[in-house]
Amino acid sequence: MKETLKFIKLFSANKSALIGGVLVICLGVIALAAPLLSGYAPDGQNMAEKLQPPSRLHLLGTDELGRDVFSRMIFGSRISLSVGFAAVFISTLIGLLVGAVSGYFGGWIDQFFMRLVDIVLSVPALFFILMLVVFLGPSIFNVMVIIGLTTWTDLARLVRAEVLSLKNREYILAARASGASHARIIIKHILPNAMAPVFVSVTFGVAGAILIESGLSFLGLGVQPPDPSWGNILTSGKDYIETAWWLTAFPGMAIFATIISYNLLGEGLRNILDPRLSGSKERV
């Protein structure tokens, strides 16, 4: 309880964390409340109202098929955030496993996993992702899995470094002496004390995953129509950029605001959880 109160105090005092946290919560509420906030079906077409500018009836205008852009935007936020969280969940599981096992056991196991990390990092990330998408086919599920499978390396290195600094501490040696299994030591004693950089990495990872998903959808390799996502709304708007500016401006602003929100939150958490980066003497 004391640690929780201390974290809340530091979080409230950190402007980046506070602003980012408020924006992230707002984005989450909008995504969850999409059916209540939307006055139109995201795929409802009305050719008589196509390419209408923002108005009282259509707050963000309509697209080339007469669909309400506001409805598509808020329903698209659900998909974009879902892809971001699911992809980061997959990458976090892989990164935790690889980093913990590599750092704890060392030796040839560490060499094997670190060389695997080097191999993954040696391939340009965008080329690797595009290759996998083309091979597996574009879909929401495939995008989630592919982003998760290609973004775990940095987290694995972070966890490995934390495990290396923790595995020879007194309480770990005591756990070994008491006969605790390797799995129990890693899961119960090491990982809980190595989670600070993981939380920060996850926050930045969500922003990165949303950006990758938006890029893939913009290229037609991500979320497929008629399902709305910010990326494919941008795609439909690029052909009308001179006559229907709202089709590119609003989804672009949404992507920008989301990335900034998660980056601010991640930066704030990093300063709170690692005072060496902010010059603070307090740490949760």
End-to-end alpha-carbon separation of the chain, Å?
12
| Residue range 104-122, pLDDT digits in tens | 998 899 999 999 999 888 8
Region for 223 from its dihedrals, namely left if φ exceeds 0, alpha if ψ lies in -120 to 50, beta otherwise:
beta
Average pLDDT of the segment spanning 91-97: 93
Q: What size, in residues, is the chain?
A: 284
Is the pLDDT confidence value at 98 over 90?
yes
What φ, ψ does residue 123 adopt, rounded to 5°?
Answer: -90, 130
Whole-number Å distance between alpha carbons of 28 and 16: 18
CA atoms of 139 and 130, how far apart (whole Å): 13
Q: What is the pLDDT of residues 139-178, one digit of tens each?
A: 888 888 888 988 899 999 999 999 998 888 888 888 888 8
* Residue labelled with tokens 């509420």: 29
What structural domains and CATH numbers belong to the chain? 12-32+68-276 (1.10.3720.10)
Structure tokens at 33: 């409340």
Of the candidates 24, 66, 219, the residue with the CA atom closest to the CA atom of residue 133: 219
Q: Return the half-sphere exposure (C-beta side, CA atoms, 13 A cut-off) of residue 157.
A: 10
Q: How far apart are CA 142 and CA 148, in angstroms?
A: 10
Instruction: Give the residue with greater pLDDT, 268 vs 128.
Output: 268
Query: Minimal CA–CA distance to 222: which of 120, 76, 115?
Result: 76
What is the predicted pLDDT for the residue at 1?
64
